[in-house]
Structure formats: structure tokens, C-alpha cells
A and B are shown apart, each in its own frame.
Chain A
Amino acid sequence: MMERLSISRFWRIKDLHYTFAYSKCKKCGHAFYPPKHVCPKCGSRELELTIPPREGELLSWTKLYEVAPYFENEKPLYLGLVKLGEVKIMAQIVDVFDESLLKEGARVETVFRKVKEDGNSGLIYYAMKFRLTSK
């Protein structure tokens, strides 16, 4: 019942997790992440992948203590919903040294980090996360 890491499952989504590439609808302009085959706003199938800017603003966040097995060594986890340009994306927030800085509107940037690993000799998943900007 515990999830095992899989080469093929991760390989097919790695571009999303490495770049936060999102869908932009050519018909109505709606931008959304993660990408889908059909625009949830207008139903169009004419979508293009777009790379978001590296900086954005925090919309909401939480500090999660009750986690799944792969995250036991890292808990508590900070998770945030972030607006990057025209698209909203949820991911972990890392390098939180002063929690009082986590507030709606705080500036954040993307950073490439490890997400989970399958023991000492198994697969390692990497992906984009967020951290507060130093500016």
C-alpha cells in the first residue's frame, strides 16, 4: 500500500516538475497548471505549453505535520499556492528561516530541489519548489 517510486511514472511528468510548464488556451487565453488535454474554461483542445516566470507571489500556505511515509524525515512540510505570472501553482516552500515572512503577497522564486528518494539505492525525484526571495 506504500507508493513505490517509478521510472516511467516520473519520466512522463518530469518536464512539468522541472519547469512548471503550464497550459495556455489559444482560444480563451486561460492559463492553468497542471496541463490538461482540454481547457477547463472553454473546452478548447488548442493548448500550448508555456514556461512561467521564476518569481511570483504567495497566495496561501500551510505547515503540514501529518505527512505520508516519504516525507516523514522532512516534516513539517511547508506548502504554498503561488501566482507565477498568469498561472497558479501549488508546491513545497523550502528554506523557511522566518515563518513570519510567509504571508499573502510575499515574493517567492522557484528553486530546484529533491522531493523524495526510494531508500539508499533507489530512485530520486527532483522538482521545482518555492522559496522566499532575498529581495
Chain B
Amino acid sequence: MRIFISGYGLVRISRWFSDSLEDLSFKAFTDMESRIGERIDADAVIVANSLGPILQSQNLISVAIAEDLGFKGRPTFSVENGGASGGSAVILATSLIKAGMAKDVLVIGAEKTSDYISSISNHAISTFLNSEYEAFYGGTPASSFAMIARAYLAAYGYKEEDLSDWPVLMHENAVDVPHAQLKFKVTREQVMKSDIISAPLRVMHSPPSSDGAAVLLISGEESRLGKDKRLAEIKSTVQISDIMELSIRDSLTEYQALHYLAESIERSTGYRMSEIDIIDIPDDYTISTPLVLESLNISAKGKGLEDISSGRFRLGDKPSVNVTGGTKARGHPYGATGVYQLAELSSLLSDNKVKNARVQADRALSISMGGVGTVFTGILLEKV
């Protein structure tokens, strides 16, 4: 059975103090209707959200948002998998269609992290770690990524400044992306002079506090919409969990789950990673970038930062990586990020409206990550 992305809608990522999760979701949904040019119905509604039960004190989020959007009496699902919630929600949507339970599924990614001061947000995201162990001692994703970064830099002989080229590239990539949160360029010097949040990682390696919502319409061959509405075909989906605690992992310098993810996509589609035109990866706190690229076998072991500094992965290279700015510059509304990634990639494969620069691509891969390399999704899209 063939499954397609037949619509997307986006809200610009920002700090939307006057908008609730429902407000942002409605704006993203009506943006999708405007792009498609008609009112949209769906057989099921899936909401990807990670922090709402903590920061908005709201459970049953899928029901709350579905009701606000006018969907009553439908199956609704709330999906929480940290930063991989969006990818997980899309995989659930494809499963509902394959199971014959739906022809069209509305996937909404929505998150608000700006409702409270940063220490409260730090508590919320610390729940991505083991709460009775790592977070008990005050650990947050930043501190875990920082320990990974220190181990990686030492293992391969890099200096702290070698981390700086990635945020520079991400800000450059986001300049012409209308919905990106930080649309300005930065220099290596600015990165190196920014405050340390968890040594050796600095503010300019970390994602901004982001509010946002994005929606996708996932459709089977029996969709209500015409074939001409198809933006991209979902060719392969993978979801895989890994070990939560850094202390139980064999290695700090790789994401072992991604070896399996890459193999699974290659096995199911016949496409090798080197044949994919655009890849959008979780580049959390910069250090994730070399780990992801190396674990997917796109860079050789220990060469990820060197490849970035040599100019690889820019728009036009194969693969181009994070052409919309990544978590650093596009923004990172955790539960919604995976939906943004797939909305962007389906646009780059069709109408190209999410970026002013012309992008040529036939195949695009979205990788989403929850926690600190704790769970991943991989979704391969192909031009229709």
C-alpha cells in the first residue's frame, strides 16, 4: 500500500506568549487548508506533544486539540516520545492507514516551552533523562550532551572551537526560511563568545526556547483528496529505542540505534544513505551532528566535525543536511519538531515554499531524536 503526505501547514516558530497550544494548532491547520485550497476532513487525529502535561498541565491533549479544531467522534491519539514525538506520530498515522482504520490522518505537532522561566523549562526537559537518577542529580539534556561532547572532542583530537562551524551553517541555512525562529547569520567568534550553558557547550550550540505547531495530512490511496494533491510518498519508516542512561551505554561517541535505522531503510527501499539528496537530522547542542552523521555512515568515524569544516553538507552537496536551519536556527518545539521536519521535506520535494533558495531533490530523509540519543525515528520521503 502506498502512503503519501498530501498536505502541510506551519506556524512560524517563535515565543508565542498570546497563543495556546490550541491557537497554534488551529493556525497551522488553517495554513494547510489554505495551501491545499479546501476544507480538510480526516478519519483520525494524532497530536505529537511532549511537554504539555508538565508545562500546560494538560493531559488528553489530542482530544483537547481535536475538539478545538472541530473534530468530534474520531479516534485521537496523543504521542509523547520527546523530540521524536512527531516522527512517531507520523509512523502511527501510516500504521492506521495500512490497518484499514483510516484513509486520511491528521497529524498535529504542537509545543510551547515559553510559558515559564528557563529553570522550569529545564525541569521539563530534564524528564527526557532518567528522572530518578540523572535528573535527580540535576542533570539535563544539556549536561548529558556536554559530557558526550567532551568525550568526543578528546577521543578524536578536536578543540572546542571545532564545534563552531555547525551553528554558523545552521544560521546561514535558516536566513531564507520564512517559518524559522532565528533568521540571522552568526560568526564563529560569536559562537565562541556566547555564554557557556554546560561546558564545553555554549548558548549558540543550544536550541532556542520555541513555541510552534505544524500539521501534516497523511493519506492512503483511497484518500478524499485527488492524486494531484500528493506532495511526497512515504517510502520507509523506522522507529527504534536505545538505552536511556549514558552510564549503561557501551560508547558515548556514537548512537548505536542509528546503525540499525540506516540498515533498515537501506534494506526496505534499496537506497543507500549516499543516494539520499537531503537529510534532516537532530543536531541538538551541535555535538549530536557528528554522532548522527557518523552513526548513519555518512561521515567516517571521528570525521564528522572535519567534514562540516571542510564545507560538506551545504545546499547542493549530497546529502545536503538541515537546509532549513536545524534545531539551532529553525527552532526546536520538541514534540512538534518531527512534524516540522517532514512538512519542510515534503515541501522541498514539491512546492519548495519553505525555503527561498531553489532545492533540487528526489529523496529526503528525516531523522528525529527523543532524549539524548534515547529514541529515533527515520522516515524516507520520495518525490511523486
Number of A-B residue pairs having CB atoms within 8 Å of each other in the complex: 121
Contact of A63 among B57, B139, B199 (CB under 8 A): B199
Contact with A along B192-229 (1 / 0, CB 8 A): 00011111110000000000000000000000000000
User: Contacts of A40 on B, CB cut-off 8 Å?
Assistant: 243, 248
Task: List 24 A–B pairs whose Cβ atoms lie within 8 Å, in order of A's numbering.
Answer: A1-B54, A1-B120, A17-B136, A33-B245, A60-B147, A60-B151, A62-B147, A62-B201, A66-B122, A66-B197, A68-B123, A68-B126, A69-B119, A72-B119, A77-B138, A79-B137, A79-B139, A88-B248, A89-B247, A91-B137, A104-B151, A125-B136, A127-B136, A127-B137
**Closest A-chain residue to B206, C-beta based?**
A66
User: Contacts of B133 on A, CB cut-off 8 Å?
Assistant: 16, 34, 90
B134 within 8 A of A: yes
User: Contacts of A16 on B, CB cut-off 8 Å?
Assistant: 133
Please determine whether B132 and A13 come into contact, CB atoms closer than 8 angstroms: yes
Contact with B along A1-17 (1 / 0, CB 8 A): 11100000100010011
Contact with B along A75-86 (1 / 0, CB 8 A): 001011100000
Contact of A90 among B57, B116, B139, B140 (CB under 8 A): B139
Please determine whether B116 and A67 come into contact, CB atoms closer than 8 angstroms: no
Contact with A along B135-151 (1 / 0, CB 8 A): 11111101100111011
Please determine whether B198 and A2 come into contact, CB atoms closer than 8 angstroms: no
Task: Give min CB distance, B202 to chain A, whole Å.
Answer: 10
User: Contacts of B101 on A, CB cut-off 8 Å?
Assistant: none
Q: How far is the CA of A89 from the CA of B134 in the complex (A)?
A: 9
- A32, A68, A127: most-surrounded residue (chain B CB, <10 A): A68
Q: How far is the CA of A86 from the CA of B252 in the complex (A)?
A: 17
Q: How far is the CA of A20 from the CA of B138 in the complex (A)?
A: 17
Please determine whether B143 and A64 come into contact, CB atoms closer than 8 angstroms: yes
Task: Give 4 A-B pairs besides A66-B198, A69-B120 with Cβ atoms closer than 8 angstroms.
Answer: A62-B150, A72-B119, A89-B247, A90-B247
Contact of A1 among B124, B134, B140, B151 (CB under 8 A): B124
Task: Give min CB distance, A49 to chain B, whole Å.
Answer: 15
Task: Give min CB distance, A127 to chain B, whole Å.
Answer: 7
- Classify chain B's interface size: 35 or more
A92 within 8 A of B: yes
Identify the B interface with A (CB < 8 A).
54-55, 57, 116, 118-120, 122-124, 126, 130, 132-140, 142-143, 146-148, 150-151, 154, 195-201, 243, 245-248, 252
Contact of B138 among A32, A61, A79 (CB under 8 A): A79
Identify the A interface with B (CB < 8 A).
1-3, 9, 13, 16-17, 32-34, 40, 59-72, 74, 77, 79-81, 87-92, 104, 115, 125, 127, 129
Please determine whether A115 and B136 come into contact, CB atoms closer than 8 angstroms: yes
User: Contacts of B150 on A, CB cut-off 8 Å?
Assistant: 60-62
User: Contacts of A72 on B, CB cut-off 8 Å?
Assistant: 119
Task: Give min CB distance, B221 to chain A, whole Å.
Answer: 40
Please determine whether B138 and A68 come into contact, CB atoms closer than 8 angstroms: yes
Contact of A64 among B146, B154, B243, B248 (CB under 8 A): B146
Task: Give min CB distance, A98 to chain B, whole Å.
Answer: 15
Given contacts A1-B54, A81-B246, contact A62 B126 (CB under 8 A): no
Q: How far is the CA of A32 from the CA of B148 in the complex (A)?
A: 18
Q: How far is the CA of A122 from the CA of B50 in the complex (A)?
A: 30
User: Contacts of A127 on B, CB cut-off 8 Å?
Assistant: 136-137
User: Contacts of A64 on B, CB cut-off 8 Å?
Assistant: 138-140, 142-143, 146, 197-198
User: Contacts of B142 on A, CB cut-off 8 Å?
Assistant: 64, 66
**Closest A-chain residue to B139, C-beta based?**
A79
Task: Give min CB distance, A132 to chain B, whole Å.
Answer: 17
Please determine whether B247 and A65 come into contact, CB atoms closer than 8 angstroms: no
User: Contacts of B138 on A, CB cut-off 8 Å?
Assistant: 64, 67-68, 70-71, 74, 77, 79, 92, 115
Q: How far is the CA of A105 from the CA of B190 in the complex (A)?
A: 32
Please determine whether B140 and A66 come into contact, CB atoms closer than 8 angstroms: yes
**Closest B-chain residue to A77, C-beta based?**
B138
Q: How far is the CA of A87 from the CA of B196 in the complex (A)?
A: 30
